Amino acid sequence: MRASVHQLHSARVHVRLSKEEDYFNMLHMRGMKVKCIGYSPVPIVSDESTSKHGAFMRPLIVIVVVVVVVVVVVVVVVVVVVVVVVVVVVVVVVVVVVVVVVVVVVVVVVVVVVVVVVVVVVVVVVVVVTAAVVVVK
């Protein structure tokens, strides 16, 4: 693909077209490959000369950015899932511990109340039986 004079002017390359030698030198100094067609120098814009760095690097940069974004998103999702699982496990453990403590306290209170009631009943029975024996004698 060749760049025309119009394309060069639209790219704000100002040359004196009357002197083809100056035009050739200016294109050469800008690093363009130049081909002479007849007596007119024409810059060569090919995929080979311009895309070695620019056009090749753009897709590579896009791929790298996409890979980095995907890795960051995956890491964030994994961290969030791990945090949620840890929080749920901690909450479940705390609830289980609280329930076990409450059940143990209730069982201990019930056992203490039953023991106290049994002791009181035994003492009352012993006192009543002793009083009855004393009265009968």
Taking the chain (137 residues) in consecutive chunks of 10 residues, what is each chunk's mean pLDDT? 51 49 67 64 54 61 91 97 97 97 97 96 93 82
CA angle 83, 89, 95 (to 5 degrees): 135
Instruction: Read off the pTM.
Output: 0.44
Whether residues 104 and 128 fall in one domain: yes
Domain boundaries, position 17: 5-50
Whether residues 60 and 114 fall in one domain: yes
Neighbours of 124 (CB within 10 A): 10
Whether residues 121 and 137 fall in one domain: yes
For the chain, the straight-line distance linking the first and the last C-alpha, in angstroms and rounded, comes to: 137
CA 98 to chain centre: 34
Say what the pLDDT of residue 12 is: 43
Say what the pLDDT of residue 54 is: 53
Say what the pLDDT of residue 67 is: 94
Count of domains observed in the chain:
2
